Chain A
Amino acid sequence: MLTLAPYEFGGFVVAAGFLGQTPAFALGDGTVRLFPDGAERSVEVHQGGLLAACRSQDGAALITGGDDGLVRRTATDGPVETLAELPRKWIDIVAAGPQGAVGFASGRNAHVRLSSGELRDFSAARAVGGLAFAPKGLRLAVARYDGVTLHWVNTQAPAQELAWKGAHARVLFSPDGKYVVTTMPENALHGWRLSDGQDMRMTGYPGKVKSVDWSARGRYLATSGANAAILWPFFGKTGPMGQQPLQLGTRSDQLVTQVACHPSEEVIAIGYQDGMVLAVRFADQQEVLLRRPGRSGISTLAWDSVGARLVFGTEEGEAGLISLNG
C-alpha cells in the first residue's frame, strides 16, 4: 500500500529529509517547512535565498547556508540558531560532522564550526567544490581544484593531499572510511583508495553527477547523471576497479537527477528529470512507481531512518511525502 501526500511550495526545493519523524523541506526562498504530525510550520531561516542544506548527524536539525552569509540550525521546535556568518558571502556548501561540528564554504573560504562555537579555517587557494567529514575522527575533506585535501580538524597533524587534475565538486567518504570519491564536471567520478592513494576513474555519464548515495552497509555507491541509476560496487578488495556497475531504473529518454538508497535493504529510490520517482530492488531489478512525472525535475529525495517513508522535492516547488506501508 502506497500513499502520497503532495505539497506545493512554489519555489525550488533545495533539500528534503526527516528531522526525527518530522518531514522537513528547505526551500530556495529562504524558508524551511516542517510537517510535525500533519500540521505545517513555516520558518523564515534566510533573508534572501537558501542555497544549501543538510541534516545534523544526530538527525534532529537542519543545517542551512544562505546568500545572507549565514549558517543556521533549524530544529523541529525552538528558535533558529545562527552558527556562523561570512558577511556578503553566499554560503552554498554545508556539511554536518561528528560532535556537532558543521562545515561550510563559499568560494575559496571553508570553515568548520565546532560545537563550542570555535571556528577553524580550511580555506583553499582556489574554489572549494565540496566538504565532507570522515566517518571516524574529526577529519574534513575539502574538494578543490586539482584534488582533495584531508584536514584533521583538531590537531596540527599535516593535511593529506589527494591530487587529480581538474575541478572537483561533491566529495564523500565511503562509510568504512577506506575511499574518498568526488564528482567532476567532465561527467565523471574520481576516487582514491586511502591506503595506497590508488586512483579510480568512474566514467561514461552523459550528464553531470549531482546526486550520490551509499547503499546499505556501503556496498554500492549510487549515482545520478545517466538514464539509469549507476551503482558502483565497493565491496571486495579493489572496490569498483575493473567492475561493471549496476544499472537500475533505466529509462530511454530521461536522466536520473536524484538517488537515495534505502537505509537497510538493497532498494533504491530514483528521481528523474521529468519528476518521476521509482523504487527499484537491486536483486531482481523489480520497479515500483512512487510518483508520476510532474512539472519539473526531482531536486531532492530522502528516506526516513527505517525506510518506511520518503520525501521528495522538485525544481519548481512540487514536493511530497510517500508512505510505503499505507
Chain B
Amino acid sequence: MTTANDGKIPVTVLTGYLGAGKTTLLNRILSENHGTRYAVIVNEFGEIGIDNDLLVESDEEIFEMNNGCICCTVRGDLIRTVENLMKRKGSFDAIVVETTGVADPAPVAQTFFMDDDVRDKAKLDAVVAVVDCRHVLQRLADTAEAEDQIAFADVVLLNKTDLVTAAELAAVEARIQSINPYARLHRTERCSIALDAVLNRGAFDLDRVLSLDPHFLEPAEHAHECGPDCDHDHGHDHDHGHHHHDHDHDHDHAHDAPHAVKSVSITAGELDPQVFFQWIGNVSQVQGPNILRLKGIMAFRDDPQRYVVQGVHMILEGDHQRDWKADEARESRLVVIGRDLDFAALETGFKACEA
C-alpha cells in the first residue's frame, strides 16, 4: 500500500463499543507483515501487545470552536498528535485512530475536514466500526452513540459471528443496513479479515457507495436529489471579531428523542454548479445538525471531471476527482445519512440544481 497520490497520509478511524474487538483488530494491524508502517493513536495502551514506537496514547480532548456549534467540535489531541507525527514524516505510511467505545465519531471525522493543518497533511480514508453481534442490538436500543458509530461507518465488521445463531446474525445485519445501507459489511470471527478490506479504502468505497442500488430504502426515500459543497464554508472562519458570552448551547439535541437514523440516495443528471453550491450550502446550514454523513459524486455541466463531496454535519468539502470516462453515465448522486432529514426538501432542491 502507498500513501494517497496527493501526498496526504491516509487515516483510518476505528469505532465500536468496548469489547467489540477493536484491540484485536489493532493487534492484527500492528503485527501482520503487510509492508505498511502504521502510526497508531489509541485511547489507552490496554491490551495492545505490540511494542511500537509509533503507538501513542491520547486522551480524547473535544475542542469546541467559539461559535459553540456542534458541527465545529474537533479532537484537539488528534490535531496535536498529527502535528507531532509530521515531525517524523517518512517513518510511517498511514495512521489508525482508535476511539473510545462511547465516542461520538463526529468530532474525529470533523477534525480531518476542519483543521487546516490536519487537512493539509492527512485525510480521512475510512471509518471502520467493529460490532459485537451478540450485543449490538441492545446497544442500539440503549444508546445514540452506537447508532452514530454505524451511521458514520464506511466499513462495518460484524464480529463474533461464531457466538450468534444464523437468525440472530440476519437480524443484526438487517438492523445495520436499516441505519446505513452504504457501509460495506464483513462477517468476522476475532476480527479475522484481510486488512486491505479495512485499510486504504479511499475512493474505492466512495465509488461503491454511489453505484449501490439503494434497494434497502423505502419508496418514499428514493430518487431524492441533492449535492455537496466545495467552498469550505466552515462557520468557524467567519465570526472571529465578536466576544462571545454564550457558547454553552445544548449540544445534545440530536440525541434527545429516539429519532432513528435514516439514509437517502438521490440521483440527478448534470448540475449547474452555481445553483448547486448555493443550494447545498443552505442545506448544510439548515439541516446540518441532523446530517451525520454526506457523500456524493457530481456531474457539472461542461466539466470534464467528476466532482466529489464529503460532509459531516455542517462541514462540507469537495474537490475534482478525475475525468469522467467515456462509458460512464454523467450522473450526479448524493447519499445523506442522518436523523429527521427533510427528504422532500432535499429532493425538490436537488432537482432544481439540474442544468
A residues apposed to B, CB below 8 Å: 11-12, 14, 28-29, 47-51, 67-68, 88-90, 92, 107-108, 126-127, 145, 165-167, 184-188, 199, 201, 203-204, 207-208, 315
With both beta carbons as reference points, the residue of chain A lying nearest to B80 in the complex is identified as A92
With both beta carbons as reference points, the residue of chain B lying nearest to A92 in the complex is identified as B84
CB-based contact B240/A67 at 8 Å = no
With both beta carbons as reference points, the residue of chain A lying nearest to B117 in the complex is identified as A208
CB-based contact B116/A208 at 8 Å = yes
CA separation between A68 and B84, bound complex, in Å? 13
Interface string of B74-99 (1 = CB under 8 A from A): 10110111001011111100000000
A70 to chain B, nearest CB (A): 13
CB-based contact A167/B76 at 8 Å = yes
CA separation between A14 and B86, bound complex, in Å? 10
Known contacts being A127-B77, A186-B65, A208-B116, is A49 close to B87, with CB within 8 Å? yes
CB-based contact B53/A48 at 8 Å = yes
Residues of B within 8 A of A12 (CB): 86-89
Interface string of B40-83 (1 = CB under 8 A from A): 00000100000001101111010111100000001011011100
With both beta carbons as reference points, the residue of chain A lying nearest to B246 in the complex is identified as A165
Known contacts being A12-B89, A201-B243, is A88 close to B76, with CB within 8 Å? no
CB-based contact B88/A166 at 8 Å = no
A278 to chain B, nearest CB (A): 23
Answer whether residue B236 sits at the interface, using C-beta atoms and an 8 A cutoff.
yes
6 shortest interchain CB distances as A-B pairs: A28-B87, A203-B240, A49-B88, A48-B53, A12-B87, A167-B63
Answer whether residue B247 sits at the interface, using C-beta atoms and an 8 A cutoff.
yes
Answer whether residue B219 sits at the interface, using C-beta atoms and an 8 A cutoff.
no
B7 to chain A, nearest CB (A): 11
Known contacts being A185-B79, A201-B243, A204-B240, is A166 close to B84, with CB within 8 Å? no
CA separation between A90 and B61, bound complex, in Å? 16
Chain B interface residue bracket vs A: 35 or more
CB-based contact B247/A187 at 8 Å = no
B87 to chain A, nearest CB (A): 3
CA separation between A143 and B39, bound complex, in Å? 27
With both beta carbons as reference points, the residue of chain B lying nearest to A316 in the complex is identified as B89
Q: Which residue from A28, A50, A185, A208 sits with its C-beta under 8 Å from B89? A: A28
Residues of B within 8 A of A108 (CB): 59
CB-based contact B240/A186 at 8 Å = yes
B161 to chain A, nearest CB (A): 35
With both beta carbons as reference points, the residue of chain B lying nearest to A273 in the complex is identified as B120
A10 to chain B, nearest CB (A): 8
With both beta carbons as reference points, the residue of chain B lying nearest to A50 in the complex is identified as B87
CB-based contact A166/B65 at 8 Å = yes
CB-based contact B236/A67 at 8 Å = no
Known contacts being A29-B88, A185-B115, is A145 close to B80, with CB within 8 Å? no
Residues of A within 8 A of B63 (CB): 145, 166-167, 185
Answer whether residue B322 sits at the interface, using C-beta atoms and an 8 A cutoff.
no
CA separation between A265 and B247, bound complex, in Å? 43
CB-based contact B57/A88 at 8 Å = yes
CA separation between A238 and B220, bound complex, in Å? 62
Known contacts being A48-B53, A107-B58, A166-B63, is A188 close to B86, with CB within 8 Å? no
CB-based contact A203/B64 at 8 Å = no
CB-based contact A207/B57 at 8 Å = no
- With contacts A28-B88, A107-B58, A187-B240 known, what are 7 further pairs, Cβ within 8 A? A12-B89, A48-B54, A68-B53, A145-B61, A185-B74, A187-B237, A204-B240
With both beta carbons as reference points, the residue of chain B lying nearest to A51 in the complex is identified as B84
28 A-B pairs, CB-CB below 8 angstroms? A12-B86, A28-B88, A28-B89, A47-B53, A48-B54, A48-B88, A49-B87, A49-B88, A49-B91, A67-B53, A67-B56, A88-B45, A88-B57, A90-B84, A107-B59, A108-B59, A127-B59, A127-B76, A127-B80, A165-B244, A166-B64, A185-B63, A186-B65, A186-B236, A186-B240, A201-B241, A204-B240, A315-B89
B residues apposed to A, CB below 8 Å: 45, 53-54, 56-59, 61, 63-66, 74, 76-77, 79-81, 84, 86-91, 115-117, 236-237, 240-241, 243-244, 247
CB-based contact A67/B65 at 8 Å = no
With both beta carbons as reference points, the residue of chain A lying nearest to B77 in the complex is identified as A127
With both beta carbons as reference points, the residue of chain A lying nearest to B240 in the complex is identified as A203
With both beta carbons as reference points, the residue of chain A lying nearest to B248 in the complex is identified as A165
CB-based contact A165/B66 at 8 Å = yes
CA separation between A108 and B116, bound complex, in Å? 24
CB-based contact A127/B87 at 8 Å = no
CA separation between A108 and B57, bound complex, in Å? 12
CA separation between A185 and B236, bound complex, in Å? 10
A32 to chain B, nearest CB (A): 14
A25 to chain B, nearest CB (A): 13
With both beta carbons as reference points, the residue of chain A lying nearest to B114 in the complex is identified as A185
Residues of B within 8 A of A88 (CB): 45, 57
Residues of B within 8 A of A28 (CB): 87-89
B1 to chain A, nearest CB (A): 22
CA separation between A161 and B243, bound complex, in Å? 19
B75 to chain A, nearest CB (A): 10
CB-based contact A90/B66 at 8 Å = no
CA separation between A127 and B115, bound complex, in Å? 17
Residues of B within 8 A of A145 (CB): 61, 63, 76
A294 to chain B, nearest CB (A): 16
Q: Which residue from A29, A49, A204 sits with its C-beta under 8 Å from B84? A: A49
CB-based contact A207/B116 at 8 Å = yes
Residues of A within 8 A of B80 (CB): 92, 127
CA separation between A145 and B58, bound complex, in Å? 16
CA separation between A12 and B54, bound complex, in Å? 17
With both beta carbons as reference points, the residue of chain A lying nearest to B239 in the complex is identified as A186
With both beta carbons as reference points, the residue of chain A lying nearest to B89 in the complex is identified as A12
Residues of B within 8 A of A49 (CB): 84, 87-88, 91
Residues of A within 8 A of B236 (CB): 186
A226 to chain B, nearest CB (A): 12
CB-based contact B65/A185 at 8 Å = yes
